[in-house]
Amino acid sequence: MAAAIIGRRLFDLTNGWNGKIECPGEHVFVVTHQPPTNWEYADTAPFTFVDSVERAIAAAKEFAGARDVYVFSGQIGSQALKLGLIDQVVINQVPVIMGSGRPFFATGGLAEPLRLENPSTIVRGDQVTHLVYDVSH
């Protein structure tokens, strides 16, 4: 995994992991209309702020070369799916049922249902099952 793409909400919730990468990849691309102006790690952290999902994916792919780019779910993942920019959906399923929370692919669903076929990869772990679905466009 070479790069990760996150939204401003996750960046703010984690304070950009205090300038250290705590997600897959060597570089993080943050989609935001307003980059932080006084983030104390701005000069040293491997983070780039971009103003659209399309630009973030293009920049991450250029950075990654032939390696993979990870797009977090939520608003950014949902927008990338709508734009046809996602090749695979990876779901890490844990045996916990939440009583509330945010939808996995955020709000404003897809115009057409996205039907995923059988997983191309299934990895069973301790209290987790990793599922990989290929997305056909």
Print pLDDT tens along the chain (137 aa).
899 999 999 999 999 999 988 887 899 999 999 999 999 999 999 999 999 999 999 999 999 999 999 998 788 988 898 888 999 999 888 888 877 777 777 666 666 777 788 999 999 999 999 999 998 86
Tell me how far apart the alpha carbons of residues 86 and 81 are, in angstroms, rounded to a whole number.
6
Contacts of 64 (CB under 8 A, 6+ apart): 2, 3
- CA torsion sign for 61, 15, 24, 130 is negative
Cβ(127)–Cβ(94) below 8 Å:
yes
Q: What is the model's pTM?
A: 0.85
